[in-house]
Structure 1
């Protein structure tokens, strides 16, 4: 289902309308905050989603510590594990939790009712995503501190790259979640429809297996997976192993994926229950 326009929309308004003027922007901010507060309350009531979003990424530094104590792994393990933990945060704190949230709100007719009021489409989607995005960013700060202390990751050599990686990672994860919800029929099947991107990203984007351990041709292909640029920027921010030219290309790739994902959401996001 495409977003309704002025000639075909069922709600009589244009999808993703823009607000102008300081007063409109202020009202928009209040609406987004109100939606985000409500979504945060609903998210907190889903214990399974909370535990999955919190424990999976935060457990990685602790599980890796015994290997360091035995001396099995050396070198830049701290940076590798930090990258993995933040990558898991993209996938679980933001992506999978938001797929379930969008589907649940759609099937409960919450999205349809919201569209009959003042909030614009972007406000509805953004307000729903804001708690998960904030959770992902908060986890990143905790993980950075935990890996620095527990895994001797050290200070980031190019922190601006890590910041770019975090921002592009959570933004793209949220957009991909909205897109995945369009092909998800029920909240029970949300975990299934999210699995392909989760597995592909874990194996090919440098989250579980660092891309420098992959064959050159495989690594070259995997560099263009949706979350690969964000993960690469996060790791490069700690190791400083990315030249300015490569960093610029990586950022452009991340932005390109974000633009494509937003366009796809505008085209195919479903506001009404699937029958």
Structure 2
């Protein structure tokens, strides 16, 4: 007698779990929908526009040919878009999801940490690029408006900032018990980084020693990359006396700033891995 049992057809043809790329795409699409529906997120979208247009109130003294102090500060503020979205939005939503046990369910469902975090980082990058295009369109429409000389460098600045500042936003979540307290906890470091990034107070107005110190802060390199991308000048050592550079020479000059951002991304990623909380905080 044959005692061999036959498994159900659906068991034999068990569906494979979606790959990492497909999971990331699905989660990013979900995050995009939630972001649009999230009222607080619209405030984070409005803040970069507010700060960038505030920069135009600065004196119009020429810093590099064709670009005054206000325009340079406005360009620097483009580098702060992902700072506001990344730190503000990521800290808020991940704290809320942790307390509602959504993060715990994600983790036990087989979704990897890079995918969970990557969905929010992707949304931050998309909306940062959208706001940058709005500000860039305004700059192009000005009487002496111009388009970026190196759009690729502009894109790199936004992507690096999106990753770095989203990870920094995640580091705020262990300090907060709910979404409201996360907004308060992130406000102080976010404002410090915004003011130190050159979008509000131009770094050109600071003494050389202070400017060298601030150049190591993560909010400064994205602004410098955007300024270089638009002007074509090597502004990484300071805009005073900056010289125009060709495509390759400009990228060589940008390597230290890119290296600083990569270092902050690496340190932030290690800190998130060590300190990020998946379980709700106990009262």
TM-score normalised to the size of structure 2?
A: 0.78
Q: Verify: 1:141 aligned to 2:128, yes or no.
A: no
Partner residue in 1 for 2:86: 94
User: Which residue number corresponds to residue 273 of structure 2?
Assistant: 266
Which residue is 1:165 aligned to? Answer: 157
**CA-to-aligned-CA distance 1:164-188 (integer Å, 9 cap, x gap):** 2112111111111112222222111
Could you tell me which residue of structure 2 aligns to residue 200 of structure 1?
A: 192
- What is the aligned counterpart of 1:248 among 255, 259, 262? 255
What displacement does 1:151 show? 6.8
Distance 1:151 1:28, change over 3 A: farther
> CA 1:28 to 1:213, structure 2 compared with 1: closer, same or farther past 3 Å?
same
Q: CA deviation at 1:150?
A: 3.5
Secondary structure at the residue paired with 2:200? coil
Which of 70, 76, 89 is matched with 1:83 structurally?
76
CA contact (8 A) 1:90 1:136 kept: yes
Is 1:61–1:146's contact at 8 Å kept on the other side of the alignment? no
What root-mean-square deviation, in Å, do the aligned CA atoms of Structure 1 and Structure 2 show?
2.3
CA deviation map 1:104-151 (0-9, x unaligned): 111111110011112111111112332222111221122211222147
Structure 1, unaligned stretches of length 5 or more?
1-22
Partner of 1:190: 182
Q: Count the aligned residue pairs.
A: 246
Within 5 A, what are the aligned runs for 1:222-237? 222-237=214-229
Secondary structure at the counterpart of residue 188 of structure 1? helix
Q: Which 5+ residue runs of structure 2 have no aligned equivalent?
A: 1-15, 235-249
Alpha-carbon distance in 1 for matches of 2:145, 2:206: 22
**Aligned: 1:55 with 2:42:** no
Cα distance change of structure 1 residues 247 and 48 upon mapping to structure 2, 3 Å threshold: same
Deviation at 1:87, TM superposition (A): 3.4
1:12 aligned residue: none
